[in-house]
Structure 1
Amino acid sequence: MSTVTFRVTDEEKSFIQSMADLNGQTLSELARTKLLEGLEDQIDMGLYEKAMKAHEEKDESISHQDMLRELGL
């Protein structure tokens, strides 16, 4: 396992430690999980934006009424 070090102010460390305690985690566990979650969210948002752009360029959606009519309902 590797080690990553980053600098924070005393106030930031105190806050991060308080949040780790609140979540029943070590400071390391909290930092690792929140960093990875944030990066995964960034990837998800990029994929969402790409999909929405493709959808907007070729919008094939239809109204609810048109769908009912198409299904014969």
Structure 2
Amino acid sequence: MPTITLKVSEADKNFMKAMAKFEGVSLSELIRTKTLEALEDEYDARVGELAYEEYLDDLANGLEPMTLEEMAEELGIEL
């Protein structure tokens, strides 16, 4: 497994070690999971913003959103 080196202040290191102990995980596991969670949340937020902008553009161009029933019928799905 690759290693990533991270430089932090002594205060930050002590805080992260305390949080790892509080959560019952290693420092490495805490940093890995919290970093990935934050990045995934940021990704989800950006994708949501882009989808909403696309939706607003569609409305501005006269396109109406499909209902769930219309989409199910188009895809051949029975609700």
TM-score over 0.5 for the alignment? yes
Structure 2: 5+ residue stretches without partners: 66-79
For 2:20 and 2:56, locate their aligned partners in 1 and report how far apart those are by CA, in whole Å.
Answer: 42
Name the SS for the 1:58 alignment partner. helix
Extract structure 1 runs of 4+ deviating beyond 4 A: none
Match of 1:34? 34
Normalising by structure 2, we get a TM-score of 0.71
CA distance in 2: counterparts of 1:55 and 1:28, whole angstroms: 40
Q: Deviations along 1:20-58, whole A, 9 cap, x unmatched?
A: 111111000000001111111121111101111011122
One-letter amino acid of the structure 1 residue matched with residue 23 of structure 2: N
Structure 1: segments with no counterpart, 5+ residues: 62-73
Alignment of 1:23-62 (within 5 A): 23-59=23-59, 60=64
TM-score calculated relative to the size of structure 1: 0.76
| RMSD over equivalenced CA pairs, Å | 1.2
Corresponding residue of 1:4: 4
**Number of matched pairs:** 61
